[in-house]
Structure formats: C-alpha cells, structure tokens
Amino acid sequence: MKNNWTTLSLLEQLSCTFGPSGCEGAVADLIRTYIESYCDEILPDPMGGVIARISGTGKESKETIAPQRLMLSCHMDEVGFMVRSITEEGLLKISSMCGSDTRVLAGRRVWIGDELRQVRGVFGVKPLHLVKSDDRGRAVDMDDMYVDIGASSREEAENAVHVGDFGTFESDYVVFGQDGRYIKGKALDDRLGCAVLCSVMRQVYQADVRPGCDLYFAFTCREELGISGARTAAHKIDPDYAIVFEATAAGDIAGTKPYKQVARLGDGGAVSLMDRSTIYDRPFTDWILETARVREIPCQIKQYVSGGNDAGHIHKSRAGVRCAAISAPARYIHTASNVVAKSDIEAIEQLAMAVIDRLSGESERVK
C-alpha cells in the first residue's frame, strides 16, 4: 500500500466497507493491507480480529527492553442486522444486532449479504394510511418491519440471499459544514478509531526512535454484540495499560440539557471516568488528561454515565489492566448517519501520539 494515505482518506474507505458484528472479514483485510508494513508482526487471532505489535527494541529483535505493554484498542464491527426468515412474497424478516433504533429504519437503504457479496434492499413498514390511529406516532416493532430486496417470491429471494446473512446500512460518506468541518457516514463508531490507530502505528514505526514500551494495536471484533473480541485479545496480549479509542454519543443538539450532552463536537476527544461497564483507572486517566493539558491538545471529560466499550472486558483480563478510554463525540450514533468533527479526529490522534511519547520517555511510570 502506498504511503500517501491520510487518516481521513482511510476513514472514508473504512466507513464504506461492509462489516457488521460477526462479519468483519472485509474490514480486517483492509486494515491488514494498510498496516502490514508498519509493524513488527501481526499476531493470529482466532476471533477474526487484527493484533499488530511494535516492539520497544530494534525492528529485527523479538526481545523487549521493558516489561511495560500498552494495548491500544478499537473495534471493527458496526451495528447491523441478520436475516432470520424469508416470506412467501420474497420479503426478508430481520433480527436486529446491537440494538438499532427502529424509529430510524423505515425507508432506509441497506446492504444484505456477507464479506464477498451483497445485494441492495430497503427497510419497509406498513404505510401510514393503513396504520390504526392509536398506533400512529409509536415506534414500530422490529417484528413488523421487513427488508425489500426487489424479489417477487421466496424462491427469487433465496437466489440472492440466505437465512443467516448479515445486513448493514447503505450510506454515503459526506464532508459538510463550514470549511468541511464535519463528516457524515455509517460505522464511524468505530471505524474512526481504526483509522486513527492505523495512522498512529505508521507514525510510530517510521520514527527514528523506537518506543520505550511494547505497543499492541488491537482491532477487535463483535464489540457491538458483547465485546467478545476484546476479551480474547486482551488475554493474548496481557497488557499493563490499555487505551480504548472509540466513538461516543454526543448530545450537543437542540432540546438536550447541558448536563446530559455527554460530549460536544469540536472540543476534542472525550476521556471517560465511568460508564456502564467500567470505572476507569483514575491515576491513568488523570495522567492522560495532564498530558493533553501540557501538550495543549483539545480534550474533554465525558459528562454522562452511559454505554460501554471494549474496556469493559479488557480491564478484567488476567490479573487486571489499567484502562482508559478516549472517544470521538458522534451525533446520531448507531444510525446510518453518524456525524463527527474533523478537529476531534486530529486531536485524538495527537493525544495518542503524546501518550505513547510520554509513556516511552518516562523512567517513572504512571503512579
């Protein structure tokens, strides 16, 4: 792969790649293509994830110069669906994976298939004029929805798709706003984290000085469906520290009270103190926040206890791991149109590099 790619050009490719939970193969292949020249080795992962290692020693050596291992984690999967049955009329009945909001599904274009083949479809629902007045305005149950792929019979549909096939949104990648400050696309949760870590890996590997600790870049599977890929990756790596790079819900929209806004676009990466799966290592978190202040990198604290991420299992791995999470605020998360700020992507990448630099250079580790 040529060396002239940028974080944002890679993000566009990753955003448009088909990869719901359990079907991340195409995303993993794309990531391997970009990073294979920028690490010492890519470790096997039976779960389907990608784990890359940059040693703290010379490029040819497998010996470590320090016992410290830093795991930088992101997840490759996106919210999606699975085909559970096909009607006699050729319509697909769908099960939701990862808790998609049915309010945003009607009329939404989707891809159905796997890593190698997909067909287009659209989410259908009973038209409004056939809905009873008492049911109007209510969210539609998933059992009352279907995907229309243009087939006129079960036989015709089965020539294109199969029960057990995956589905995800079809959505354009769009740069918009004044000076192109925002990005809209599907799967920015967490292809944004994937793009940032690929770029960080390239910068670290091409630097004149090797890091003072071993770095493990984990691109995990199935985060949206139980965080199983991070559990096995952390067990394999056995890190001392771990930082999860994610996207988090941003409530900086009309009608949301300030204390419920979680994080705001344009204010930098959001550092978590607590969510529904983790209480983060406070000295490590404070150390990261101090690094951002000293290096003058935009950064904010996630202001609302919600959600969870790979840290939920990483911090409990083996004898325990000191965990932190740095997330990009994203509006309309878990829909086809995630919106993030370019400046936040840049700030998160700068903070990742600053943390690696500081952790590598300090003889006295995080307290």
What is the reported pLDDT for 140?
Answer: 73
pLDDT tens-digit readout, 246-263: 999 887 877 777 777 789
What is the CATH number that goes with domain 7-78+186-361?
3.40.630.10
Residue 214 identity (one-letter amino acid): D
Name the pairing type of β-strands 299-301 and 269-271: parallel
Give 100's pLDDT tier (boundaries 50, 70, 90). Answer: low
- State residue 103's pLDDT score: 77
Distance CA 338, CA 348 (A): 17
CA–CA distance, 7 with 353 (Å, rounded to integer) = 14
Q: How far apart are CA 117 and CA 115, in angstroms?
A: 6
Verify whether residue 223 is a known catalytic residue: yes
**Dihedral sign from CA coordinates of 213, 245, 7, 28:** positive
In 3-state terms, what secondary structure has residue 331? strand
- pLDDT tens-digit profile of 103-138? 778 889 999 999 999 999 999 876 665 555 655 666
Residue 324 has pLDDT above 90, yes or no: yes
Place of tokens 């000293």: 294
Note the pLDDT of residue 118: 96
Return the number of other C-beta atoms located less than 10 Å from residue 282's C-beta: 12
> Which carries the bigger pLDDT value, residue 143 or residue 330?
330
Q: Out of 24, 223, 246, 349, which one is annotated catalytic?
A: 223
One fold for 7-78+186-361 and 80-169: no
Give the domain ranges of the chain: 7-78+186-361, 80-169
Give the integer Cα–Cα distance in Å for 214 and 239: 9
For residue 59, what pLDDT is reported? 46
Q: With bands split at pLDDT 50, 70 and 90, how would you rate the model's confidence at 49?
A: very high
User: What torsion do the CA atoms of 280, 222, 78, 248 make, to the nearest 10 degrees?
Assistant: -10
Q: Which residues contact 233 (CB under 8 A, 6 or more apart)?
A: 45, 47, 49, 51, 71, 73, 218, 220, 314
Instruction: Let me know if domain 80-169 sits in CATH 2.40.30.40.
Output: yes
Pairwise CA distance, residues 111 & 28, whole Å: 18
Which one-letter DSSP state was computed for residue 47? T
Go through 79-104 and write b for each residue having 16 or more CB atoms within 10 A of its CB, e for each that does not: bbbbbeebeeebbbbbebbbebebeb
Q: 324, 281 in Cβ contact below 8 A?
A: yes
Average pLDDT, the chain: 89
pLDDT at 286 over 60: yes
Query: Residue 7: which H helix or E strand, with range?
Result: helix 7-16
